Amino acid sequence: MIGRQLALDVDRVATGGRSLGLGPDGRVVFVAGAIPGERVLATVEAEYPRRLEAVADEVITRSPDRIDPPCPNVARGCGGCDWQHIGSERQSMLRRAIVVDCLHRLARIDAFDVSMTAGKEPAAGGDSPGVPVRPGPTLASAGYRTTVRVAVVDGRAGYRKRSAHEVVNVEQCAISHPMVESVLAEGRFGSAREVTIRVGAATGERMVVVTPTADGVSVPDDVIAVGADELAAGRRPHIHEVVGGIRFQISAGSFFQCRPDGAMALAQVVGDALSEVEGTLLDAYCGVGLFGALCGTGRRVVGVESSPSAAADAAINLGPHAEVVQARFERWKPQPVAVAVADPARSGLRAGGADRLARTGAEMIALVSCDPASLARDARLLLDRGYELNAVTVIDLFGQTSHVEAVSQFRRRPQDSKGREIG
């Protein structure tokens, strides 16, 4: 079957950004480069017992939302952006559809308030009442990334081809901030395998983290260059970014959102989700303290973070009146809090994280999720631990890609004096 070309009608989108069609033998086909509603000719790239993976070669019936990719690197095979062929409005619709589908399939939660215009994806689960899924603020899709991780071949940085190890060297990148783009074009990275480029859009500071070593690296004079070997030996260089008027220290080994306007958009939704309840804020998986700093004004803040560098950054960014605990959240000893925000890794809270959150007794929880399947699994875990899901807000942070970011609001179900749920 591999290498065979199939004529397929694709009717919906799956987690990961591919569209779904049905093959001649009844297996589901995940098609890259197609848009729901199109009929395409697609070549099979991989075969599994219950599914096929394919790439669209020719569009027979074209979606009105199909556009010419704005970045010339797509034609060269660059796999950095998988939705360059889809108009921005349809991209937003598809991200919402992915979230709704995951909630329906994985968490058994049906959604309402997801009406689409004619020809768009229907709400999964029919008209069943449930949780409203609201779009968040749509952000400009060009030149937004202040952090990129790229491969290196023969000293030049580039993005891997889709589903391949081959690297496409780039001198321009439509979604990278101009200060990142210039490092991509001018940087020479010696014998490195990989490099992460990070800039502070507000401060102009720039840094590259090179794996395995920064030996032989040539970058503009203002760029801090550090090797992964130096980080392992204890070196802790950092840059700064400003979000919401707050200056954040971000060390080379610390996670930070890839765009400051996106970080602010997330914090605004989190702040709104927690605003009804006063009292101590738990910032779980707090990173450098983004949500604690932006949403914790007037509150006592407790931050929990496993990364030593990020925890050290959070202690500075949150100030002396906050408590920062360096620990795996799943091993942290819970303490009572009024509200909590959790921003776990792509794998989500899992049972251990959900247990810790529930044991704080938080009246309200804001869950930040970067994977819709993890969001759905985490939602079910929290529902099973005494919470109800009030809202999910999908925020467009990663234009031209199928990446989905969402903030979900959970409220603790009422309990009587003996801790039993009421109603």
Rounded CA-CA distance 276/298 in Å is 14
Query: Which residues, 6 or more positions from 403, have their beta carbon under 8 angstroms from its beta carbon?
Result: 370, 397
- What are the helix (H) ranges across 206-246? 228-232
Among candidates 155, 89, 145, which has minimal Cα distance to 116? 89
Rounded CA-CA distance 382/56 in Å is 39
Rounded CA-CA distance 201/365 in Å is 30
Indicate the pairing of strand 39-47 with strand 51-61: antiparallel
Is 370 considered catalytic here? Answer: yes
Residues in the chain: 423
Cα 2 to Cα 46, 52, 60, 77: the distances in Å are 6, 9, 21, 20
Q: Which residue has the tokens 């909590």?
A: 340
3-class SS at 304? strand
Which pair of tokens denotes residue 257? Answer: 């959102």
Query: Which residues, 6 or more positions from 114, have their beta carbon under 8 angstroms from its beta carbon?
Result: 96, 97, 100, 123, 132, 133
Which pair of tokens denotes residue 284? Answer: 């779980």
Q: Are 291 and 241 in contact (CB under 8 A)?
A: no
Q: Which residue has the tokens 């321009």?
A: 172
Q: Which of 71, 81, 258, 370 is catalytic?
A: 370
Q: Which residue has the tokens 């749920």?
A: 421
Q: Which residue has the tokens 């400009």?
A: 140
Q: Which amino acid is at 340?
A: A
3-class SS at 290? helix
Q: Are 410 and 390 in contact (CB under 8 A)?
A: yes
Q: Are 200 and 213 in contact (CB under 8 A)?
A: no
C-alpha torsion sign, points 151, 183, 207, 205: negative
With 0-12 CB in 10 A as exposed, 13-18 as middle and 19+ as buried, what is 418?
exposed
Catalytic residue set: 370
